[in-house]
Amino acid sequence: MKHVYTHDNIAVVHSAKNILALNDIESFVKNENTIPNGARHGIENTFIELWITNDQDFDRAATIIEEQLTNPPPTPPWHCSKCAEENDGSFDFCWKCQTEK
């Protein structure tokens, strides 16, 4: 067993676990049940860990996680052609008038 990924958000760790499962890599989540206890006792730096079962899968698992869980570069803001409102680059529709990008 080898530790392959750590994050403080349980949803992100389970997403990584699901990605590995889709690639036939067996893994398990560690510390997911200790977070509520840590918060109760003031421990805020307890991270959730993803471990792979078979050591020989480590390199492939690390590569898959790196490729699949990287955040895309931010898209620059854009101005609506109808109302001229500035919108976040991630929006496909104007937040003000709902005109498509």
What's 59's domain CATH number?
3.30.70.1530
Domain count, the chain: 2
3-state secondary structure of 18: helix
Of 26-30, 34-38, 66-70, where does mean pLDDT reach its minimum?
A: 34-38
**54: Cα separation from own chain's centroid:** 23
pLDDT of res. 8: 79
pLDDT of res. 55: 96
Let me know whether 63 and 88 are in one domain: no
Distance, first Cα to last Cα, the chain: 47
Let me know whether 27 and 46 are in one domain: yes
Residue 85: domain span: 73-101
Q: Which of 68, 80, 99 is nearest to 4 (CA)?
A: 68
Helices (H), 1-101: 10-22, 35-40, 58-68
Backbone angles phi, psi at 78, to 5 degrees: -135, 155
Q: Whole-model pTM? A: 0.61
Let me know whether 19 and 41 are in one domain: yes
37: DSSP letter: H
- pLDDT of 82 above 80: yes
Give residue-wise pLDDT tens across range 2-19: 999 998 788 889 999 999
Averaged pLDDT for residues 56-85:
90
